[in-house]
Chains A and B, each alone.
Chain A
Amino acid sequence: QKEVEQDPGPLSVPEGAIVSLNCTYSNSAFQYFMWYRQYSRKGPELLMYTYSSGNKEDGRFTAQVDKSSKYISLFIRDSQPSDSATYLCANVAWKGGSEKLVFGKGTKLTVNP
């Protein structure tokens, strides 16, 4: 089983919709959970991170972690066409004495005007 699983989509929603993006992970040692956003033909950029369980809100974005079910979510409220991108979840793993990020495969989101 891959350490981080993510539904690749694609996901297409109308402008203004609430979007829910989800990942599951297998390594219970993960503590840091991140969401990256990647626009077409660009490198990924960090959108949000959370530490351990709970919610974290940043404007229209909410990241949620449920460690008991090993489930992480990103909610986008009032979605905009500018939110159209691929969203990747990631966890931090320590291997060989240094930190590495383990990424999900990414979910491609299109928000239609």
Chain B
Amino acid sequence: NAGVTQTPKFQVLKTGQSMTLQCAQDMNHNSMYWYRQDPGMGLRLIYYSASEGTTDKGEVPNGYNVSRLNKREFSLRLESAAPSQTSVYFCAITTSGLKGPYEQYFGPGTRLTVT
């Protein structure tokens, strides 16, 4: 998954704790996305950013905040973690290349467990 990096790879939180998931891209693309993936639920969009300085809600934004720090970085923050936020979180960018005009290129994911 070169091009999109995520930190951390794994995290265990207690209910009520806060944390920030970091995403960075070196592909110089405008659009960045945060998804969560749960068994049987597929990929669900949490927030996205069409360009630096703009962010918008996706399908499941409750309990999350985001920050598009600059063109490279898009962070996802859990202010008060809940067990329902146990999931795998993916950051993605949209590219236009040989594989298609709207290819989303995903990071390796962050596995978060909230106890």
Contact = CB atoms under 8 A, between A and B. Distances in A.
Interface of A: 6, 8, 32, 34, 36, 41-46, 49, 88, 90, 92, 96-101, 103-106
Contact of B31 (A99, A105, A106): A99
B35 to A, nearest CB: 8
Interface of B: 1, 4, 31, 33, 40-43, 45, 48, 50, 56, 58, 90, 92, 94, 99-109
A42 B100 CA distance: 21
A49 B41 CA distance: 22
Dominant SS among interface residues on chain A: strand
Dominant SS among interface residues on chain B: strand
A99 B31 CA distance: 9
A106 B48 CA distance: 21
B108 to A, nearest CB: 6
Contact of B109 (A6, A43, A92): A43
11 contacts: A6-B42, A44-B104, A44-B106, A45-B106, A46-B100, A46-B103, A46-B104, A88-B42, A100-B58, A101-B45, A105-B42
